Amino acid sequence: MKEQAKKGDKVKVHYHGRLTDGTTFDSSEGREPLEFEVGSGMVIKGFDEGVSGMSVGDKKTVAIPSHEAYGPRQEEMVMEFPRSNFPPDIEPEVGMALQMHGENGQELPVVIVEVTPDTVMLDANHPLAGQELVFDIELVDIKGKSPLIIMP
């Protein structure tokens, strides 16, 4: 029986991620395969679960509901700021990506969604929040769990 990917294994996968309307949002095509540890939280939950149980060479398509991907879109993550808060050398435009700094100093990516003469609306939702995602996954390699003790 072929080895199957399980929690703790390091795996390499090629993938093609798209929205339900067919729009591609990410792909490993032309790049190195994505390497991650199954069950470690390095990738979204639905992707992690989709790889679990696959064997090298297996291909599958996984539909991931938004709650197992980037979560629902949250309206409280859309914030209005006075234009005067922006540095004078930045001309805010819809679609512009910026970094805000939270109270703890963490960086929060935001996108400008509306600009008026007095205010700028910023959206801190992940761009894929609220979206069902579809991934075509091909398992390329499985490296078992790293040994806890390495003999010299």
* DSSP secondary structure string for all residues of 107-127: EEEEEEEEE-SSEEEEE-S-T
- CATH code where residue 64 lies: 3.10.50.40
CA dist 13 and 66 (Å) reads 21
Same domain (yes/no): 60, 111? no
pLDDT of residue 151: 53
Domains in the chain: how many in total? 2
- What pLDDT score does 108 carry? 84
What pTM, to 2 d.p., does this model score? 0.78
The reply to whether 27 falls in a domain is yes
pLDDT in tens, 43-99: 999 999 999 999 999 999 999 999 999 999 999 999 999 998 888 888 999 999 998
In a domain, 109, yes or no: yes
Report residue 2 as tokens: 């072929």
For 54, list phi and psi in degrees, rounded to 5.
-80, 155
Pairing relationship of beta strands 10-19 and 24-27 according to DSSP bridges: antiparallel
Provide the domain limits for residue 103. 75-123
Q: Is residue 1 in some structural domain?
A: no
Q: Minimal CA–CA distance to 113: which of 80, 91, 83?
A: 80
Residue 144 has pLDDT above 90, yes or no: no
User: Average pLDDT, whole number, for the chain?
Assistant: 91
Residue 24 and residue 46: Cα distance in Å, rounded?
17
User: Do both 64 and 48 map to the same domain?
Assistant: yes
Q: Residue 148: pLDDT above 90? A: no
Q: Count Cβ atoms within 10 A of the Cβ of residue 66 and give its class: 0-12 exposed, 13-18 middle, 19 or more buried.
A: middle
